[in-house]
Amino acid sequence: MSLTVLNDDNFSQEVITSGVPVMVDFYATWCGPCKALTPIVEKLAKEFSGKLKVGKLNIDDAPQTPAQFAVRGVPTVIFFKGGKAVDSLVGLRKESELRSRIEQLIAG
């Protein structure tokens, strides 16, 4: 499964009404830590394909959605289940930490 490109127009359809848990990476093209996080997010998207939808949202191209979820810095990863934000991480994180959060999300 590839990453889902998210924006203000498709966010509700792709994330809020998703039948599976969703991990959204809020990023910016000018953000160094965001660039470092991208390969980790892509790897986890492949690893959890079918169990988890993974999306990326560029905060500069889609300003309404980050404001709705109080995203104050990038990268921010927000985990959604049943249409609700249930967990979040701010800043560059290790793959193991993201994997652990994903496993909890899927199990819970």
In the chain the domains, ranked by start, together with CATH numbers, are 4-102 (3.40.30.10)
Q: Which of 62, 59, 54, 46 is nearest to 21 (CA)?
A: 54
Tokens representing 19 are 């039948």
Q: What is the pLDDT of residues 2-56, one digit of tens each?
A: 799 999 999 999 999 999 999 999 999 999 999 999 999 999 999 999 999 999 9
Please report the pLDDT score of residue 86 as a whole number. Answer: 97
The answer to whether residue 84 scores a pLDDT higher than 80 is yes
31 is annotated as an active-site residue = yes
Q: Which of 18, 75, 83 is nearest to 52 (CA)?
A: 18
Tokens representing 58 are 């560029």
47 is annotated as an active-site residue = no
95: burial class by Cβ within 10 Å (0-12, 13-18, 19+)?
middle
| Structural contact between residues 42 and 82, judged by C-beta atoms closer than 8 angstroms | no
| Banded pLDDT at 1 (limits 50, 70, 90) | low
Three-state DSSP class for residue 18: coil
> DSSP class of residue 2?
P
First to last CA, the chain: 22
6, 23, 24, 34: which one is catalytic?
34
15, 22, 31, 102: which one is catalytic?
31
**What is the pTM for the complete model shown?**
0.96
Query: How far is the C-alpha of 7 from the C-alpha of 55, rounded, in Å?
Result: 10
